[in-house]
Amino acid sequence: MSLGFTEVASDNADTQLEKTVEHFKELSEVYSEDVEERERMFKEILCKMKCVMSDKAAVMKLFDRKLEEFKTQTIGEDVSTHFLFCNAHFLLGLSSAAEDARKETEKEVKDMGVVFGREAAADIFGPRGDEKSGCRNQWLVFLDSIGVRSKFTSYRANRFNCLFQNAFALCFHRDHVIKFLEDHVSHSNMKTQSVLADVKDDKVMAMVTALSHFNYCLTAPYWQLMNSAKAYGEFPAYAKKMEIFLIQGSSVDSAPMVPYFPDFINNDIFQNTMSVNEKDNLIYTRMFQRMCAKSLIVLQRQLSDFLVGGIFGGEIVEEVKRNSHDCSIN
């Protein structure tokens, strides 16, 4: 069932609730022209709406409370509603954790420009990038001449797995980027010069490689999981696996290199990515460990429902299982 989309002037909980109710009333009008029958159908729709999924932003949390109050007042009884988390948004939390890890690691190494260089690389080479400073068309022609496809994706708003995917792309294309920017680009500017300087710097690339390996081990297979046919009730097993992985990754001396979702990994994503020089291995290891430690905090906060003690973490109550087990995972 699709309720369509309505533009709103103010994105707050009251407006969200008002438009949701408006959609339900319009839907009930489709079923009958009789006023009493419409009202009965409207209440039935509310009663049967067992689950709501959101990103748990402040507005949505307030909307959830207001929706539950509205359902109780309208139907005249307490009708339980399960407010599910859109698990794709967990990747945004991991991106923020990675940025914090990068900042801490940068403090240990002087003259680091990794964040600008990585974003700039996606801007220059990725789709919907910087039209003024970018050179995507020339980049694609260059890659086509050597039989390679570009791995860069759009970096707009750093949505979901773009941060980690583009770190992998920068590792994969390191030699290509150097050759292209040194020998083939028709115009040079501060952004292309910055990317070239960063991609030639082993210390910078040690940090980018940590992001790329994190992508291989966790975020790339997680993103494939989000786009799979897996149901909400199957997700707890994956959340618990991630918790174990992140605990291990934040505590051991060498970063784990085995993906934790082997049924969702494409090994091609790890081929041709650069290795880290021995002298820069400490930078890579500390970056990876910090990402795991900070990501563990994010996981235990955002995915607590799926861990031990959470509503989906143990033996699931029959009503919850019946209403939410087969819901989409995101």
Domain-by-domain residue ranges, the chain?
Answer: 13-85, 89-306
For residue 130, give the amino acid letter. D
Give residue 253's pLDDT: 66
Give residue 326's pLDDT: 63
Per-residue pLDDT tens over the stretch 146-161: 999 988 877 554 467 8
* Residues 260, 215: Cα–Cα separation, whole Å: 11
Report residue 326 CA to chain centroid gap.
22
As a whole-number percent, the residues of the chain with pLDDT over 90 amount to 11
Largest CA distance in the chain: 78
Per-residue pLDDT tens over the stretch 93-112: 898 999 999 888 888 776 55
Residue for token pair 């299982």: 321
Per-residue pLDDT tens over the stretch 259-270: 666 666 665 555
**Mean pLDDT computed over every residue of the chain:** 79
Per-residue pLDDT tens over the stretch 114-137: 444 445 676 677 665 556 666 888
- Using the predicted structure, report yes or no on whether residue 232 has a pLDDT greater than 60: yes
Residue for token pair 């494939």: 224
- Using the predicted structure, report yes or no on whether residue 30 has a pLDDT greater than 70: yes
N-term to C-term CA, the chain:
16
- Using the predicted structure, report yes or no on whether residue 4 has a pLDDT greater than 50: yes
Given pLDDT bands bounded at 50, 70 and 90, which one contains residue 191? Answer: confident
Picking from 190, 200, 179, the residue whose alpha carbon sits closest to that of residue 134 is 190
Give residue 274's pLDDT: 55
Residue for token pair 């009708």: 79
Residue for token pair 């009965």: 40
**What is the reported pTM?**
0.78
Quote the DSSP letter at residue 54: E
- Using the predicted structure, report yes or no on whether residue 208 has a pLDDT greater than 50: yes
Give residue 176's pLDDT: 92
Give residue 268's pLDDT: 59
Beta-carbon contacts of 147 under 8 Å, excluding residues fewer than 6 positions away, are none
Cα-based distances in Å from 200 to 100, 114, 258: 23, 11, 27
* Residues 96, 99: Cα–Cα separation, whole Å: 5
Question: Mean pLDDT throughout 174-180?
Answer: 91
Region of poorest pLDDT, from 206-220, 228-242, 283-297: 228-242
Picking from 31, 165, 40, 48, the residue whose alpha carbon sits closest to that of residue 98 is 165
Given pLDDT bands bounded at 50, 70 and 90, which one contains residue 139? Answer: confident
163, 95 Cβ separation under 8 angstroms: yes
Per-residue pLDDT tens over the stretch 61-81: 787 788 888 888 888 776 777
